[in-house]
Structures are given as C-alpha cells and as structure tokens.
Amino acid sequence: MNITTNLEKLKKVISLAEKITGKNNDLPILSSLLLETEKGLLKISATNLELGIILKIGAKIEKNGKIAVPAKIINNFINNFNFINKIQLKSDEKFLNISSNNNKTKIKIISNDDFPIIPQTKKEFLFKIKADILREIINKLNISVSNQDTRLEFTGVNIIFKDNYLELASTDSFRLSKIIIDLNNKEKGSNYKEIIEKKETLIIPFNTLLEINRIIDNNCKEIEFITDQNQIFIKFDNDILLTSRLINGKYPDYSQIIPQKFNTKVNIDKNSLLQAIRLALVFNNKGELNLKIDNKKNQLIINSQEQEIGENKTILEADIQGDNQDIVFNSKYLLDGISVVDSDIVNLKIIDSDKPIIITESNNKKNNFEYILMPIKK
Amino acid sequence: MGIFKSKNQQKLNKEDLWKAVLGEIESTVSEAQFVTWFKGTSIIKIENHIAFINVAHGFAKEWLENKFNGQILKALNKYHPEIKNIQCLIDSSKKNITTTKKIDAVVAPKNNSKQATHKNDFFVNYDKNNNLFLNHNFSNLNPRYTFENFIIGENNQLAHAACLSVTENLGTTYNPLFIYGGVGLGKTHLLQAVGNKILENNSLEKKVYYTSSEDFTNEIITSIQNKTIENVKNKYKQVDLLIIDDIQFISGKEITQDIFFHIFNFLYQINKQIIISSDRSPKNISVLEERLRSRFEGGMIVDISLPDLETRIAILKSKIEEKNFFLKDNLIEYIAQNIQSNIRELEGILNKIIAISQLKKINPNLDFIKSILKENINNQKKKGITHKHIIKVLADFYGINENDFFTKTRKKRIAFPRQIGMYLMKTELNASFPWIGDFFGGRDHSTAIHGYEKIKQQLQDDEKLQDDLNYIKDLLYSKK
C-alpha cells in the first residue's frame, strides 16, 4: 500500500476506530485496525465483535493494499504526529512506513488473515434521526440506563415504533427515561410500516448509542438506522458505518407503570431546585431527602437530616396545583432527572408518597421527555 | 412419551452431524478462534441441499459463510454428501438470555439507596408491601422454569398434563389444582411453568402471582404489624392465577390459614385459578384446618412420584446439554441407576462431576464417577442418624412415648410404629435382625424379620403408608 491522505482527517478516523477495538481478548487480531484501499478511498475497519465500524476517507492512492496494524500504537503515534498536513502511508512486507522531513517511523504489520469480516447490509434504512436530536437525548437516556449486566435488556435503550414517532426508553428499574421522537414521512423507510404491523421493538445496547454520540460531528446532519437479522447498522452521512448487535430479550411493558392521573402538579425553577437538592445531599449519608409541597403557601420544601451531621432545609417558591405532599426520594436519582431537564422551569407531577412521580420539561415539545421515579417508601 | 422420544431422536442426528463437523474444525484452528466463531452454533435444518446454521452474531455469520464455508461443507459432505451450501442465521431466540423476566419495571429503591443501587437481587426480593407491582403484573416468577425444559416421565405425566390443561382453561377445569410429591421432584418447576406460560400468552391481561407459603406467612405477619392486612388481602384478590408453593408450612399457623382461607374462597368463587403444591397429600398435612383440607380436596389432586430410570436418564441428558458438557451414555446410565431419590440430587452430582472434571482437566470415566458417587452416597446414608434418632422421630410422629417401643405391649398403637422402626433400622441403618430384635426389648430375630416383611408388604399398596414413610424419612434426614 502506498497512499497519501489528510493528517487531521486520519487522526479523527483512527481515534474513532481505536475505541471499538477489542481489549484483553483471546483474539489478538481484534486489537488491530484494518487499513485498506477501496475504490479510491482509504477504508479503516475495527471491531470488538460487539460493535464493528467502517470509516472511509479520501486519499491519493499510488498503490493498493490491505494491512492490519496495532490500533493503540498507530493511534498514539498519529495523534502526536504534527509535522505535516499530508501524511504518506507506505507499507512493505513487514512494516508500515511513515516519514516526514525529520521523522522516520516503522510500525510492525500484523497478519490480517484473521481479521473479522464486518457485517454489512443491503437493506434500506428503517428510520432516520437528526444528529442534533440524537445528541440531545443521549444524556436523558443515559441517567436511567442500567450498568449491571444481570439484566441485559436494561443495559440498552428500548425503541417502540409508532405511526409518526419513535418511543425510546431506558430504565434500571428504579427510574425510567422516556423520550418521544417525531418522525416525518421522509424519516421513515419503506419497511417502517411493516415493523409497526409486526409490533416489533428493538433494544439497542447503550454503548452503541454512546459510540454514535462520539461519532456525530458538525458535518453530520442525519443518521440512518437499518436493521437486519438481529443486528443494527448505523449509517452516518460522513461515510461511517457502525454495526452493532441488538440485545436479545423482552423489555418490560413499562407503559403500565406510567401514571396518567395526578393529585398535584408543580412548576418550579430548575436551577433553584437543583441547588436545594445538592445542599440536601450533604446532610444525609443514605442519600435520601424529603420533599414537601405546601399548596397554601405555594412552597416546595426540601430537607434532609442526619443525627451525626446536622440538618438542612430549603424553602422554594413554586406554582402549585392540587394537594399537599410529603415524599421521600433518593437524592441522586432526583438530581439526575432534574439536571437533564432542558428548560428553565421543571414540571413535577405527583400522585402520592408511594406512587411514581413524573418529571417533565416545561417546553415539552421538542422531544417529549419524561422521567419517572419511584419514591422511597417510608 | 413416544412422541417425545422420537423428536429427540431426530434432533440427535443433526446434533451428531454438527458435533462431527466441529470436531474436525477444532483440530485445525486455535482454541480462541474456535470459541469465538463456533460457540453456540448448531444446525437448524437441512433443506434444499442447504445446511442452515445457527450462529451467535453477525460477525460469526460473515466469518463462517466466507472463511470457513469450504471447510464446513467438506466436513458435512462426509456424512451428508447431498449438502451443497451453508447459510448462517443469527440467533434471535430470546431464551438464551439469562434474565428475561417479562414483568416489573420501576420499583422503589430500598431505604438504603447505596445498597439498592448495588444489589440486583432486588428484583427477586422486592418489597412485598408494595402492591404497586401486583397491579402491574409483578409475578415473582423465575422465567427459567418453562414447560419446554420440563422432562416428562411416567412419574409426572399426570401432573404435567393437568398443569398444561390449566394454562388452557384458566380457573375452569381443575380448580384448585393440588400437586404433591417429595422434595426435588419438580413441583416448583411445574408450578412456575404454568405462571410463565400464562404470562407469555397474555402478559397484559392476566395477573399471576407466585409465592411460597412461608413468604406468604411472613407477609401476613408484617402486615399485621403494620396494620395493612386489608391491603394484602386486596392485593391477592386481584390476581387471576395464584400459585402457592409448599403449602404444608402453613400448618399450625392459624391466622395465616384464616386469611388464606378468605383469599382462597374469594378467588375460587369468581373462578380464578389457584395452584397449590405440597410435599404430601392434603390428608397428611397435620394441623390443617378441616375447611381448608376439604377445599383442597375439592379440586384436582395429582402427585409426582420418584422418576423412573428412563426419566432420570432423560433428565441427566438434558441437564448435560444445558451445561455444555459431555458424558458417555454408559456413565449417564450408571449415575441414573445409582441416584434414585430426587432430581435435585441428580443435578447436584452432575454439577460436582462437571466441576471436578473441569478443575482437574480429566475426562470422566467410570472409576471417576464411581468415586464421586461413593462419597455422595456415603454422605447421605451416614448423616449421623442412629437408632435413637429413629425412635425419637417415630415417637414424635405417632405421638407415643419413646419407652413404649421397648415394652412388651402388643397394642396396635404401639406395635405398628415399632414395626416401622424395625423396617427403618433395616433399610436405613442396615442393622442385623438379631440386633434389631434385641434392641426392641429383647425380642427374637424372627419378630424383627416379621415386622420388616410386614411393612414392606404393606408399602406396596398402601399409599398413605408410603406418604407417611416418605415424610418420616424427610424428618429423619432433615432434622438432627
């Protein structure tokens, strides 16, 4: 192989690819990147057998070729290599040679016979999501996703397909994030109808979403999702293809636990509420706080106490409709939900002290976010 | 049984073929490669000269179809020359996942939140006072137990059929369904399989709740303390299928029985299904209120007895397959012949064999199996029970004085337990007849022989005695 390409672009793709290599694996080939020329482009592939990625960048190709190099080495090297804008990659039988005026580098090539074939698909996209929407929702889903693989389905994000929207949810069984993404007709593939009819759902590993988030850059406008035989293919408009396994399993029917009727509705300033919760966190080792609603005085009171430490109480003005309330929450869970809210005013919808409460945004139009949290029973 | 076997036969053929192929490939690739690409693969079907192979993920599909296709095809053709091509399908079966509990969703963190976030067995030991879950189909079931992995033999055919029929006609045909049998024979498996099946078919409409009578009792006790007994009652009254395991532990607990009676009556009257299991028949549960007993007897009562040899072999084979292990048929048969008492013990022995053989990296042979079984059988017999212990348990069970055994009296009330004693000393302690005779107040050895023979004879057709004796043995070996 003998090619010349843009250094900055190469840096970016190599570091993206390096993230998806296998570590500590019995198959050493997984810790390498596969570099090959294809139709006038440089194609870089990496996989850890959970995820696979194929990235392509433009290059001036003198001689075609296909080599595998240790991912970590080439990533560390390229990212610190700043001598020139255009970089030449030239391989012989044993080494990948990179040189500039004052620097000569040889990286040992690994046999690429065993490099896995990254699955691809010929199918059409199932749905598309705008890059900026995807970026926005990832944090909101992140807070509720479980990181324990005792229940594999909880480590992913569940997608339910509806006529004009997608419903995404993540839960660790203590709280649940639910997001609605509207789809227009252009954003639905021709097979979208079929999946609604079959009532199919998908569980995408959360790691895959994190990877998507990492890949999205300013040039990226729209992301295509394609499903094929228990795999999902994610196509970016900057010539990147990500392949991931889907999680096998049945997601719990969470629709049943989302309350519809409430006794109390509260509108409150997000930042002052956050501050009150952070203060309360200091004064309870168990991480619990007490939230009281006083509808006469239109006050929301947060307090926490610990005999050994002391106590803390914050009284906030709030817009309150409905009954008084007195509820105990896990402070961190409450904090998580409120901190991802994307508006200045937070809405709380409450039934009573042992039913789930719902936290929503006040400008709840963009992506219909709901955070459902169980209180701690007294 | 017939259908069951022939299905298995057909499956074996495909399996053997694939085993042969894997054997051949294994020798040509590295272990890591083999595990990565071939783990969990199998032949699904052979159709139109194409062998369809089940693989774990897309990468394996690409690899097998593009890199190993020649090698696989060559190996396949040795046995099935008609196969012209292979095609891989990615495994999308949900059953491979260890946790597919279909229900529950958001639950309250426990009071100690640090603990709550670290502990996932929370799903199992959920807060029982929280009736929110019941409203949302929280069933307490373990999804591992299904009808598919239940092995049917003569010993449990009827129970299995009754359970299946219940899943089809919930609350109408056999209500209540009462299943009894010794420990480790699969009662819980069947019970849970019914629940899982119902949830699988109508997870949204039907509420299923599984509990053991012990948990039930604890729940009642807590609710009495918290004065929330009405909530508990209401919670149970909402279910469509109530499964209570090991009901015998309810015996003697009056308030629990009373509350259970109310729940039972309520559900029964509105045709909700109730399934109950116990280690003995309703007749033999001591200290059970008569009104409950008669209600249990009013439905369908089926028993699960000890599995016969063929069933034990089938069970072993399925467990071995489940654990991805291999044992020769003669070894399996040897184990099945020697472990007769219960299925849990069979599984225990198998686990031990697998663990030791993997630890020591040896291929199990007959001597190895024998040595493990020997240990186990010895352990079991000599659990430290003595003739004194037998006397004590019998005296308790029959409500007589320990000294009565050694008197000259021939009253039936004493003589019969004495004969049981003689029988047990022979079977469990392997004592000699002269010794037994002498032990029971200086009797002749022929008296001991007579006692033993009489019980043995009676056991053959007296079901009540069989039940009693099983229970006595349980007592003997469980409580020291």
Residue B396 clears pLDDT 70, i.e. is over it: yes
Q: How far is B105 from chain A (nearest CA, A)?
A: 5
Nearest-CA distance A170 → chain B (Å): 10
Dump the DSSP string for B360-404. TT----HHHHHHHHHHHHHHHHTSS--HHHHHHHHHHHHT--GGG
**Residue A245 forms beta bridges with which residues?**
A231
Q: How many CB pairs under 8 A join A and B?
A: 146
Q: What gap in Å lies between CA B187 and CA A184, rounded to an integer?
A: 53
The pLDDT value recorded for residue A91 is 93
- Whether A233 and A137 map to the same domain: the answer is yes
Q: Which of chain B's residues have a Cβ under 8 Å away from the Cβ of A377? A: 108, 111, 127, 129-130
Asked whether the CA dihedral B383, B389, B393, B394 is positive or negative, the reply is: positive
Q: Does any domain span residue A170? A: yes
Q: What does the alpha-carbon distance between residue B408 and residue A285 come to, in Å, rounded to a whole number?
A: 71
Q: Is the pLDDT of residue A44 over 50?
A: yes
pLDDT tens track for B207-217:
888 888 888 88
Give the domain ranges of chain B: 2-94, 121-304, 309-381, 387-478
Residue A116 lies in a domain: no
Q: Which of B63, B92, B104 sits opposite A116 (nearest CB)?
A: B63
Please check whether residue A118 lies inside any domain of the structure. no
B109 touches chain A (CB under 8 A): yes
Q: What is the mean pLDDT of residues B138-142?
A: 73
The answer to whether the CB atoms of B109 and A330 lie below 8 A apart is: yes
Residues A139 and A243 occupy one common structural domain: yes
Kindly state whether residues A262 and A369 are assigned to the same domain.
yes
Based on the domain organization, do A265 and A337 belong to the same domain? yes
| pLDDT surpasses 50 at B1 | no
Question: Quick one: three-class SS letters along A335-375?
Answer: HHHHHCCCCCEEEEEECCCCCCEEEEECCCCCCCEEEEECC
Q: What per-residue confidence (pLDDT) applies to B5?
A: 41
Say if A26 falls within a structural domain: yes
Q: What is the pLDDT of residues A191-201, one digit of tens each?
A: 999 989 988 89
Do residue A275 and residue A234 come from a single domain? Answer: no
pLDDT in tens, B335-347: 888 877 778 888 8
pLDDT value at B8 more than 80? no
Whether A9 and A51 share a structural domain = yes
The CATH number of B121-304, from 3.40.50.300, 3.40.50.720, 3.40.50.2300, 3.40.50.620, is 3.40.50.300
Residue B174 has pLDDT above 60, yes or no: yes
What pLDDT band is residue A180 in, cutting at 50, 70 and 90? Answer: very high
Percent of chain A clearing pLDDT 90 (strictly above): 62
Q: Which of A155-169, B88-102, B163-177 has the lowest mean pLDDT?
A: B88-102
pLDDT category at A23 given cuts 50, 70, 90 is confident
Query: In whole numbers, what is the pLDDT of chain A averaged over residues?
Result: 90
Place of tokens 């090991």: B246
8 Å CB contact between A293 and A262: no
pLDDT band at B203 (very low <50, low <70, confident <90, very high): low
Structural domain includes residue A76:
yes
| Mean pLDDT on B396-418 | 87
pLDDT at B95 > cutoff 50: no
Mean pLDDT of B262-280: 89
Per-window interface: B 218-277 vs A, CB < 8 A: none
pLDDT at B139 over 80: no
Pair A196, A287 in one domain: no
CB contact under 8 A, B101 and A175: no
Residue B240 structure tokens: 């469509």
- Is A313 within the bounds of a domain? yes
| Residue A230 touches chain B, beta carbons under 8 Å | yes
- Which of B61, B91, B105 has the CB atom closest to A257's CB atom? B105
Nearest-Cα residue of chain B relative to residue A121: B58
Confidence check: pLDDT of A25 > 90:
no
Split at pLDDT 50, 70, 90, the class of B92 is low
**What CATH number matches the domain at B2-94, 3.20.20.80, 3.40.30.10, 3.30.300.180, 1.10.3260.10?**
3.30.300.180
Answer with the one of A222, A255, A288 that is the final residue of a domain.
A255
- Segment among A16-30, A136-150, B106-120, B156-170 with least mean pLDDT: B106-120
> Which residue in this structure is represented by tokens 């039940």?
B467
Spell out which residues of chain A touch residue B99, defining contact as CB-CB under 8 Å. 150-153, 249
Q: Which of A108, A136, A152 is the endpoint of a domain? A: A108
Residues forming a β-bridge with A330:
A288
Half-sphere CA count of B312, side-chain side, radius 13 A: 25
* CA within 13 Å, CB half, B173: 11
Q: Is A288's pLDDT higher than 50?
A: yes
Supply the pLDDT for residue B479: 53
Residue A359 lies in a domain: yes
Taking an 8 Å cut-off on Cβ atoms, the answer to whether A26 and B31 are in contact is yes
Residues of chain A with pLDDT > 70, as a percent, come to 98
Comparison of pLDDT for B377 and A70, the residue scoring more: A70
| B387-478 topology per CATH | Chromosomal Replication Initiator Protein Dnaa; Chain: A; (1.10.1750)
Please indicate, yes or no, whether residues A173 and A99 belong to a single structural domain of this protein: no
Exposed/middle/buried for A155, CB within 10 Å: 0-12, 13-18, 19+? buried
Residue A337 has pLDDT above 90, yes or no: yes
Partner-chain contact B92 A229, CB within 8 Å: yes
**Residues A99 and A65: beta-carbon distance below 8 Å:** no
- CB of A281 within 8 Å of a chain B CB? The answer is no
Residue A211 lies in a domain: yes
Q: A137 and A92 in one domain?
A: no
Highest mean pLDDT, choosing among A252-261, A279-288, A291-300, B338-347:
A291-300
A136-150, A302-316, B272-286: which is most confident: A302-316
Segment among A247-261, B8-22, B281-295 with least mean pLDDT: B8-22
* Interface residue A114 vs chain B (CB under 8 A): yes
Question: B-chain residues within 8 Å CB-CB of A208?
Answer: none
Report, as an integer, the average pLDDT of A217-233: 90
End position of a domain, from candidates A212, A239, A255: A255
Q: What is the CA radius of gyration of chain B?
A: 27
- Tell which wins on pLDDT, B222 or A18: A18
Residue range A142-149: mean pLDDT, rounded = 84
Classify residue A239 by burial, with Cβ atoms within 10 Å: 0-12, 13-18, 19+.
middle
pLDDT given at position A292? 94
B residues 18-77 lying closer than 8 A (beta carbon) to A: 31-33, 35-36, 57-59, 61-63, 66-67
**Average pLDDT of the residues in B424-450:** 86
Q: Supply the pLDDT for residue A367.
A: 59
Q: Please check whether residues A245 and A272 belong to one and the same domain.
A: no
pLDDT of residue B205: 67
Q: Considering only B32-46, B54-68, B90-104, B240-254, which range has the smallest mean pLDDT?
A: B90-104
Alpha-carbon gap, residue A353 to A205, rounded angstroms: 33
Number of domains in chain A: 3
Same domain for A269 and A360? yes
A49 vs B57, B103, B122: nearest CB: B57
Question: What is the model's pLDDT at position B101?
Answer: 36
Name the residue facing B113 among A230, A256, A330 (closest C-beta). A330
Of the pLDDT bands very low, low, confident and very high (cuts 50, 70, 90), residue B384 is: low
| pLDDT at residue B128, as a whole number | 29
**Nearest CB to A252 within list B59, B90, B105:** B105
- Lowest-pLDDT range of A368-377, B195-204, B458-467: B195-204
List CB contacts of B147: < 8 A, sequence separation 6 or more: B160, B163, B164, B193, B197
B55, B59, B137: which to substitute to probe chain A, counting the most A Cβ within 10 Å?
A: B59
Q: How far is A80 from chain B (nearest CA, A)?
A: 33
Determine, for residues A377 and B91 on separate chains, whether the beta-carbon distance falls below 8 Å: no
| Complex ipTM | 0.76
Nearest to B106 among A148, A174, A288 (CB): A174
Q: What is the pLDDT of residue B138?
A: 60
CATH of the domain at A96: 3.10.150.10
Q: Cα(A197)–Cα(A194) distance, rounded to whole angstroms? A: 5
Supply the mean pLDDT for chain B.
Answer: 78
Distance from CA of A102 to the nearest CA of B (A): 42
For residues A347-374, give the mean pLDDT: 85
Strand order in the sheet with B42-47: B42-47, B50-55, B85-90
pLDDT at site B116: 35
Which residues 6+ apart lie within 8 Å of A103 measured at CB? Answer: A81, A83
Q: How far is B234 from chain A (nearest CA, A)?
A: 17
- Residue A157 pLDDT level (bands cut at 50, 70, 90): very high
Q: Which CATH architecture has domain B309-381?
A: Orthogonal Bundle (1.10)
* More confident position, A229 or A92: A92
b vs e for A7-17, b when ≥16 Cβ sit within 10 Å of the residue's Cβ? Answer: bebbbbbbbbb
Q: Are residues A93 and A183 in the same domain?
A: no
For residue A378, pLDDT over 80 is answered with no
Does the pLDDT of residue B438 top 50, yes or no? yes
pLDDT at B249 over 80: yes
* CB-based contact A254 B67, cutoff 8 Å: no
Nearest to A375 among B33, B108, B112 (CB): B108
Mean pLDDT for A27-40 is: 91
pLDDT tens readout for residues A102-129: 888 999 999 988 899 999 888 999 999 9
Closest CA to A370 of A355, A354, A359: A359
Cβ-defined contact of B132 to A257 (cutoff 8 Å): yes
Considering only the beta carbons, identify the residue of A27, A152, A373 that sits closest to B97.
A152
CA distance A214 to chain B (A): 23
CB A322 within 8 A of CB A236: no
Pick the more confident residue, B194 or B288: B194
Question: Residue A307 phi/psi, 5° resolution?
Answer: -50, -40
Compute the average pLDDT of residues B387-398: 86
Any CB–CB contact under 8 A between B110 and chain A? yes
Q: Which domain holds residue A165?
A: 127-255
Mean pLDDT, residues B41-45 taken together: 87
State yes or no: pLDDT of A225 exceeds 90.
yes
Six-digit token string for B307: 């599995």
Question: Looking at the predicted structure, is the pLDDT value of residue A300 above 90?
Answer: yes
3-state secondary structure of A314: strand
CA A160 to chain centre: 17
Put simply, the chain A residues between 182 and 201 with a CB less than 8 A from any chain B CB are none
In the block, tokens 């690819």 appear at: A17
